[in-house]
């Protein structure tokens, strides 16, 4: 997410209400066209909700800041663990069905 997008999400969380582009522009002191672009991107990514009132778009946070942070952490962990995960998948692919069942039972025991 862009810096503008992060700033806008912080504004939406802080205000805890739907806001027009003009209100967001004033609150964040960003350029109008930056807010228009960023809010549209946030809506497209599912981070913001969009509704219309009198022909004007209003935006509100679609997720909490905690949900957003958890998603970022999950994405980073997934990216960081990708090489190890690929090794694990390759190893598991070499197992016999019996060996896979044993591993599955072991994982179930600790879950």
- For 63-104, the pLDDT digits (tens) are 999 988 888 777 777 777 667 777 777 777 888 889 889 888
**pLDDT recorded at residue 91:** 78
**pLDDT recorded at residue 86:** 72
Question: To which residue do tokens 């027009």 refer?
Answer: 20
DSSP state of 92: H
CATH code at 3-61: 1.10.10.10
CATH 1.10.10.10 location in the chain: 3-61
Nearest Cα to Cα of residue 62 among 99, 29, 13:
13
């Amino acid at each position: 997410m862009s810096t503008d997008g992060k700033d806008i999400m912080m504004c939406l969380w802080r205000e805890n209400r739907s806001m027009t582009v003009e209100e967001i522009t004033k609150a964040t002191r960003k350029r109008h066209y930056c807010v228009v672009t960023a809010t549209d991107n946030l809506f497209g990514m599912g981070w913001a909700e969009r509704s219309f009132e009198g022909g004007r778009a209003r935006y509100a946070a679609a997720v909490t800041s905690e949900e957003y942070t958890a998603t970022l952490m999950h994405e980073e962990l997934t990216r960081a663990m990708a090489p190890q995960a690929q090794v694990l998948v390759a190893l598991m692919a070499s197992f016999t069905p019996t060996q896979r069942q044993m591993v599955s039972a072991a994982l179930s025991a600790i879950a």
